[in-house]
Amino acid sequence: MATVGSVSAVAAETTDPADEQYRPYLHFSPEENWMNDPNGLVYDDGTWHLFFQHNPYGTRWGNMSWGHATSSDLVHWEEQPIAIPQTFDENGAAIEDIFSGSVVVDEGNTSGFGTAEDPAMVAIYTSAYTPAHPTHAGIQAQSLAYSTDDGQTWTKYEGNPVLDRDSANFRDPKVIRYTEPESGESYWVMVAVEALEYRVVMYRSDDLKHWTHLSDFGPANATGGIWECPDLFPMAVDGDPENVKWVLVVNLNPGSVAGGSGGQYFVGEFDGTTFTSESTVTDDALPPGDVFASFDDGTWGDWTVGNEPGNWKDGPWGLAPATGTLPGQNPVSGFVGAGLVNGFNDGDWPVGTLESPTFTIEQDHVNLLVGGGNHPHVDGTQLGNEPPAGRLLFDGFEFADGTTLADTGWEITGDFATEPWRNPSIAGGDYYLGQKRLNTFEAGPKGDDNLGDLTSPAFAIEPGDDHLSFLVGGGKRLNGTLEVRLIVDGEVVRTATGPEAGQLNWQSWDVSEFAGSEARFQVHDDATGGWGHLTVDHLVLGATPATPRSDETSVNLVVDGEIVRTATGRNSENLDWVSWDVAEFAGHEASVRVIDNNRFGWGHVLVDQVMFSDAAAAPRIEGYDWLDWGRDYYATVSFSNAPDDRRVMLGWMNNWDYANDIPTGSWRSAMALPRDVELVSTERGPRLAQRVVPEFAELERPDVAYTDGARAIADGDETLPVAGDVVRIDAVVAPGDADLVGLNVLGDDESATRIGWDAASARLFVDRRDSGNTGFHPAFASFDDAPVALADGKLALTVYVDRASVEVFADGGRTTITDQVFPNAGADAIGLWAEGGDAWLESLTVTPMHGAMYREAGADGATAAPPAAQVTALTGPRKGPDADGDFEIKVKVGFGEPTTVVRLLEDGRVIDREYRTAESQRTFSFLVEGASPGEHRYAIELENSAGVTDGGEHVVTVAG
């Protein structure tokens, strides 16, 4: 048997976690390194346990292990040692990653891992066996680990795996205890996924070790991405125990309603064997309208087909429309009829265009089904890779064979100087020009671990040389360790980094201010690990900047030679309706142009059923049921064994589209706030409603809350006389005559996150396109919205703002939008706005909140840490030990700087805390009950927004 020990994490940076710019204070985030899916959520004996996917060695995905944190109240979390680390062989090679799963309290000791009196906690997780595993290479199977010390240490079961389907994508087991209502028979039920088949697979067991197949569910509703992280639980509708439905949660990536990662759910019945959905959407009928192109007759007809010349499969479009899924492609769904446009001929590699014959726009809408890659058309790009006009520097690195960079006057340092013949390189990257380029992976013997600089000889920037353009690809680092630089007079005046991809693309610097100066171009590589290199080619000085190359997979409406409407896929093989409002182009000649200009991941596009109509087609995806309509709520599952029949759910507040690139510091990712969920009646049947767990109310500061209301919101923007980046906002607005109305949060003079309601579409939205730092990934800047009807002409919102995120609750919690944002430093302004007319503010309350982690003191005006306190203990006898283990510890805080939080610690662990809400409150009492015999050492910590003061130690001895 293998006993699981702790794994040492990479040393944290010296910065206090609380001082890192985007560190959340309300949400759980690990002190350092990477985190993704919540795992093993379980309540046991007064403690909430959060396990999570964790990389103990870095801030990007990898080395998958289970991290662990505990809480007594779902608010304050204490990080614990690594629970279940990845497995290594005797040579130190990783042979098993620990993927997602669940934890149960085995109260009947069915597994035999504990006792009936002291049941074990049992983790059921996915063993993702690496290619180095001797017997299960590449397989995902389900395994067990158990703990008999309240989750502090874990032992992997010697009989692992306990459930193996010989599948590479069988994962994420959620195990529940099911009791048959009639017979009282009780057994374990596992729901897991065959991820690529869009299937939830269900098994039963009596002992957690031996499993029998029950049934499968799916595909159903959203199948635009792989299915992951299922959950299954019963809920009383409207709290009525006589009306119980079952909820099946299925997370998927990509293909969510907002794009990328998200979670859907189904409502129905479960009989202990089979889940039957009552909320599956099956209507695939065409919307009203006239079909212009169905692609069903086996030919392209009058469409102009631009396949890539010489492609052996006539890719990307083929010689005729596809009839469905192509070789090597995941299953294609959502198309109608016998054919469709499918740009996956010969995979993602070939590029080309496909254009319809012209037509006259006579109806208000063009509706069409679209799927495939999420690579939108961007105005001002080119389909080719043409350089700008100008002066080519350094011959584009096309030196005669045998000539090195050093031979031409470049200064070479570090690993790049060890073997000068490597520079320039003839390997690495895509979309370079000619045969040779700079590539710091190839430029030394260590690949991505090469370190050093490549610095050009001086060149003149002449009048008229307004722009320096160049092709760059490779890794992205935002901390200055991997970048190209322009150096003028010894100073770095311009920098750029790569896209975290092999494709080179044009970037340009405006250098007009340096006319008449001499400059140098430098490739600086002080980065190691994956993508720790840059590829550079073709530097051009000229009057105009380069035109970036498009990497689009798009379908476009062309009017008068210009693209006026465009759509792209969701990184999904599922097609869904897109509608273009074209009323303004009535009478114009137009065509539909499909473009595939992408050779790499999701480098294809799907199109079907181009229709003309008087009405917009509704996207099917919006008819499904979503846990959240934002971009950052994924892998959401519920806590097992929660008290009082509560159903508490927790999600990962990130999105796989950009998760590895968010601009945080020593850590990456946070969890969303835990939510209580209930099943409520709606016009569509029972559906989930959510609210942040009420325990967070203890962090609210009503004594300093700001209120406003019963007044007009004038057309335009107004900044409120209240600010904060850790607040709860409750607002009720009536749109009145306004087209749009809403709130700004995390704002400054340059940017803000906009939360609003659009009267024309009756939709709630979060707009983070101008929210601060958005340029770290092209998929981040988003506008996320959901249909929300007004109630009596009013919209009621509750918004939680926590430094780098917003969670918006509307429609009684039936609609939520969760988004990360990365505001400018110090951006904390809050405002109201209306557009197109005046609106009405019914009520507004902005409630500042204390923090829950890293910095618990809210804004309190402190300029220095709290003054010292007096600590005494009221025990039994005046002298001698306490008699029964029940006593008070009293703390009297000092005058001067504010004391905002008082914490009581035992053995370094916080066991109680109090928030001070008034300066007159100076004395706090902590009641200790049931302390065991022996010596107990208690410490006091005092905190305000400026720092923490050690309040001293007090020893209490309890009689034996």
Mark whether 164 is an active-site residue: no
Burial class (CB in 10 A: 0-12, 13-18, 19+), 886: middle
Is the confidence at residue 414, as pLDDT, over 90?
A: yes
Banded model confidence at residue 878, pLDDT cuts 50, 70, 90: low
Catalytic residue selected from 16, 19, 37, 596: 37
Can you give the pLDDT at residue 396? Answer: 97
H-type alpha helices, 879-958: none
Contacts 24+ apart (CB under 8 A), 909-915: 909/78, 910/76, 910/78, 910/941, 913/76, 913/856, 915/698, 915/699, 915/701, 915/850, 915/856
Is the confidence at residue 9, as pLDDT, over 50?
A: no
Q: What is the pLDDT of residues 713-730, one digit of tens each?
A: 999 999 999 999 999 999
∠ Cα 477 479 484 (to 5°): 60
Can you give the pLDDT at residue 571? Answer: 87
The average pLDDT across 370-379 equals 94
Residues 6+ positions from 481 with CB-CB distance below 8 Å: 524, 525, 526, 527
Banded model confidence at residue 34, pLDDT cuts 50, 70, 90: very high
Is the confidence at residue 374, as pLDDT, over 50?
A: yes
Can you give the pLDDT at residue 916? Answer: 86
766 vs 4, residue with greater confidence: 766
- CA distances, 230 to each of 165, 202, 652, 748 (Å): 18, 10, 14, 40
Can you give the pLDDT at residue 5? Answer: 36
Residues 6+ positions from 626 with CB-CB distance below 8 Å: 256, 257, 262, 263, 264, 265
Is the confidence at residue 635, as pLDDT, over 90?
A: yes
Is the confidence at residue 12, as pLDDT, over 60?
A: no
Is the confidence at residue 904, as pLDDT, over 50?
A: yes
Question: Quick check: 653 and 26 in contact, CB under 8 A?
Answer: no
Q: What is the pLDDT of residues 97-150, one digit of tens each?
A: 999 999 999 999 999 999 989 999 999 999 999 999 999 999 999 999 999 999
Can you give the pLDDT at residue 707? Answer: 98
Can you give the pLDDT at residue 284? Answer: 73
Can you give the pLDDT at residue 4? Answer: 38
Can you give the pLDDT at residue 14? Answer: 64
Counting residues of the chain whose pLDDT is more than 70, the rounded percentage is 98
- CA distances, 677 to each of 267, 388, 476, 691 (Å): 13, 57, 40, 7
Residues 6+ positions from 365 with CB-CB distance below 8 Å: 289, 579, 580, 581, 582, 583, 612, 613, 614, 615, 616, 617
Average pLDDT, the chain: 95
Can you give the pLDDT at residue 7? Answer: 34
SS3 content of the chain, % helix, strand, coil (to 5): 5, 45, 50
Is the confidence at residue 494, as pLDDT, over 90?
A: yes
Is the confidence at residue 283, as pLDDT, over 80?
A: no
Residues 6+ positions from 782 with CB-CB distance below 8 Å: 258, 259, 631, 768, 769, 819
Q: What is the pLDDT of residues 516-556, one digit of tens each?
A: 999 999 999 999 988 999 999 999 999 999 999 999 999 99
Q: What is the pLDDT of residues 737-764, one digit of tens each?
A: 999 999 999 999 999 999 999 999 999 9
Counting residues of the chain whose pLDDT is more than 90, the rounded percentage is 89
Q: What is the pLDDT of residues 318-372, one digit of tens each?
A: 999 999 999 999 889 999 999 999 999 999 999 999 999 999 999 999 999 999 9
The average pLDDT across 675-680 equals 98
Is the confidence at residue 42, as pLDDT, over 90?
A: yes
Question: Quick check: 743 and 829 in contact, CB under 8 A?
Answer: no
The average pLDDT across 859-865 equals 91
